[in-house]
Structure 1
Amino acid sequence: MRQPYVYMVASRRNGTLYVGVTSDLPKRAYEHREGLVDGFSKKYGCGLLVWYEPHETMLEAIAREKQIKAGSRAKKIALIENLNPGWLDLYDRLI
């Protein structure tokens, strides 16, 4: 069984942010990191996995993603800095 996650990738510290949801975080983070999927994150160079949050169900993850996307940039940055104050790429922790 796969684990649903909400995650954020960034172009750099305090840079452009992308919020997404996935059931395979290592694979999705790799795709962002390598620019393998066309779209917003590739266009703006969002390849650093800076925050993620596991959920019990995909429905819960999707609801949380919508909540985060509807929030302010300041709230997104606060989530990142509470978990990852150095804005480190968390991808290596996944593999």
Structure 2
Amino acid sequence: MTAAPWFVYMVRTAGGQLYTGISTDPIRRLRQHNGELSGGAKALRGKGPLQLVYQKPMADRATASKAEYQLKQLSKAAKEQQIGEQ
């Protein structure tokens, strides 16, 4: 049995902020963040509508977590560049 791939993703809030996270299913995670399903991040409540603007597959959870950390260290301008390069 093959493990589900992990993704690092970024969501843009209605106010233009970027939220970075990891998931095996970024679309499901976006639905959770938007309140369609339970389990969304408290940091995103009331900041919708949310838009999935970046997702990149990773080999495993550890790699995804490292990529998430690296993305979170970037400036907003650098994150926007990453989004534009996708």
| TM-score, length basis structure 2 | 0.81
Bigger fraction of residues in helix: 1
The DSSP-based 3-state class of the residue aligned with 2:48 is: coil
Q: Deviations over 1:46-94 (max 9, x none)?
A: 61001010001110000000000011111111111222xxxxxxxxxxx
Superposed, 1:45-56 pairs within 5 Å as: 45=48, 47-56=50-59
Corresponding pairs, count: 82
* Unaligned residue ranges in structure 2 (runs of 5+): none
Q: Distance in 2 between matches of 1:71 and 1:42?
A: 23
List structure 1 runs of 4+ shifted beyond 4 angstroms. none
Bigger fraction of residues in strand: 2
**Residues 1:79 and 2:85 aligned together:** no
* Unaligned residue ranges in structure 1 (runs of 5+): 84-95
Identity between Structure 1 and Structure 2 (%): 28
**Residues 1:21 and 2:22 aligned together:** yes
